[in-house]
Amino acid sequence: MSVTTSEPISDFQPFGMDFRNDPYPFYPKLLAHSPLEVEVGGEKAIVISRYRHVRHILSRHKQFSSVKPSGVPGMEKVDFFNSRPVMNYTDPPEHTELRKIVNPAFTPRNLAKLQLRSQAIAEELFDELGDHPEFDAVAEFGMRFSKRLLMNTFMGVPEEDEYIFMDWLNAIPLLDQAEPGGGKPKEFVDAWTAGTDYCDAALDRAQRDDSENIVRLIADASDSGRISKDDVMATMLVLFAGGLTTVSASTGAVLLKLVEYPEVAERIRMDPELAAHHFEETLRLNPALTSVMRFPKTDIEFEGLAIERDTPLYVMLSAACHDPDTFPDPYRFDIDRPNYRDHMGFGAGQHTCIGNVVARAVIPPLIAEAARRYPGLRRSAPEEALKFDIANPRVRHLASVRLTA
Ligand code: HEM
């Protein structure tokens, strides 16, 4: 579907399949009409798209809550954590406490260790691919990289137990079929229960040994009474869910951009520092999270629009990343933008991605290594349309692209 700026789009559906399938044609219209009043599930909602509007909302957590009010239509589709309080969906002071528990995992010392391990993992994976590989940059390479780094190293979940978390992740799209007031799909409930059992056992083990990983941190917090055992699972999952597919999809996306812009790949070979610019600009053009939600705590007026308390605000990170007022010529891949780190790919404000420091530490070295190893990297089947994972209504990930070196 193509949309021009002159067409009315008051029937715009932020979780609708038209937008999820191909969001790009919608951006000019959304940007021209921000804030936009729409109806979702028969209830009023507001779509926020312009960069400065998005930043305004995200940096004012005292006025705009991340806690989903109960009974709002559509929320059952995004209740991934079984209504447990997790960082993404809490406000201070609860949010601050939850973030504090895992903050020690993101110290410069830990990040330096993680960066070293990630370089070793990337080299192992490239070596496993051989001299003239043909591989799926997301489903094979990106996902393996992300699992070894985040799941096995950062979270301390051994390979043989990965399925516990993958079952939960794979059951999430089923929530998309959930109806207001209806129960959750059985597969989701079973996966949640299996994960809770696993986390309880992992927590017991971590309290006995001296391993340094997320479970250990949670164990320490649990000892001091800052987190209940019930919430261990949710804490593990929020990190796992936040990192696994965002890192694997972004890894695939940066490799694809090396293919699409060979002149940029050449510049990175000459100056590996530019890999960081390549990563940020890829995220701007392909932000993994297309939207986040906020809810006004009181009745407000925003840009001349009266908005009642608790009205769902769909804050469109992806549209903001294409705002020409902030990113001139916004559809152009340009690693020389002076404000290349200002995109909304990691969100903004209180809830800015806690893992951004991990992604920023591990992905640029991988880009530089891929550019160095594979100067002739190309798509195996350039005529094939790119495949995106849009099963989760707020996410648009590159799902698969075959590359040949
Ligand atoms: C390229 C990779 C990544 C992208 C694009 C990404 C994107 C995002 C975005 C847009 C948010 C803001 C959500 C909001 O405002 O509601 C977020 C939050 C979060 N991310 Fe990431 N993320 C990435 C990597 C990671 C990693 C590696 C981890 C874990 C190690 C992680 C864990 C989280 C958590 C826990 C939050 C919630 C933070 C809070 O609410 O305070 N993310 N992420």
Reply yes or no on whether the pLDDT at 72 is more than 70. Answer: no
Q: Which two tokens stand for residue 86?
A: 């997790």
Give pLDDT, residue 394: 87
pLDDT band at 68 (very low <50, low <70, confident <90, very high): confident
Which CATH number belongs to the domain containing residue 335 in this structure? Answer: 1.10.630.10
Q: What are phi and psi of 335, to 5 degrees?
A: -75, -5
Flag whether 10 is in a domain.
no
Nearest residue (CA) to ligand 1, atom 17: 353
CB neighbour list of residue 227: distance below 8 Å, 6 or more residues apart: 98, 101, 218, 221, 235
Flag whether 4 is in a domain.
no
Taking only the tens place, the pLDDT of each residue in 137-168 is 998 999 999 999 999 999 888 899 999 989 98
Give pLDDT, residue 285: 97
Flag whether 11 is in a domain.
no
Query: For the chain, what is the mean pLDDT?
Result: 90
Give pLDDT, residue 1: 43
Nearest residue (CA) to ligand 1, atom 33: 242
Nearest residue (CA) to ligand 1, atom 19: 353
Reply yes or no on whether the pLDDT at 43 is more than 80. Answer: yes
pTM exceeds 0.75, yes or no: yes
- Per cent of the chain over pLDDT 90 is 65
Number of domains in the chain: 1
For residues 85 and 216, give the distance between their C-alpha atoms in angstroms, rounded to a whole number: 20
Mean pLDDT value across residues 374-393:
92
Ligand 1 pocket mutation pick from 59, 246, 286, 315 by most atoms within 8 angstroms of CB: 246
Ligand 1 pocket mutation pick from 353, 360, 389 by most atoms within 8 angstroms of CB: 353
Give pLDDT, residue 329: 97
pLDDT band at 203 (very low <50, low <70, confident <90, very high): confident
Mean pLDDT value across residues 309-334:
97
Flag whether 321 is in a domain.
yes
Flag whether 206 is in a domain.
yes
Task: Say if residues 155 and 214 touch (Cβ distance below 8 Å).
Answer: yes
Flag whether 283 is in a domain.
yes
Using the structure block, give the residue that is written with the tokens 């305004």. Answer: 56
What residues make up the domain containing 21?
17-404
Give pLDDT, residue 180: 67
Mean pLDDT value across residues 386-399:
90
Flag whether 324 is in a domain.
yes
Taking only the tens place, the pLDDT of each residue in 331-373 is 999 999 999 999 999 999 999 999 999 999 999 999 999 999 9
pLDDT band at 71 (very low <50, low <70, confident <90, very high): low
C-beta 101 within 6 A of ligand 1: no
Flag whether 9 is in a domain.
no
Could you give the C-alpha distances from 343 to 207, 219, 292, 321, 365, in angstroms and in order?
A: 40, 35, 14, 6, 20
C-beta 292 within 6 A of ligand 1: yes
- Per cent of the chain over pLDDT 70 is 94
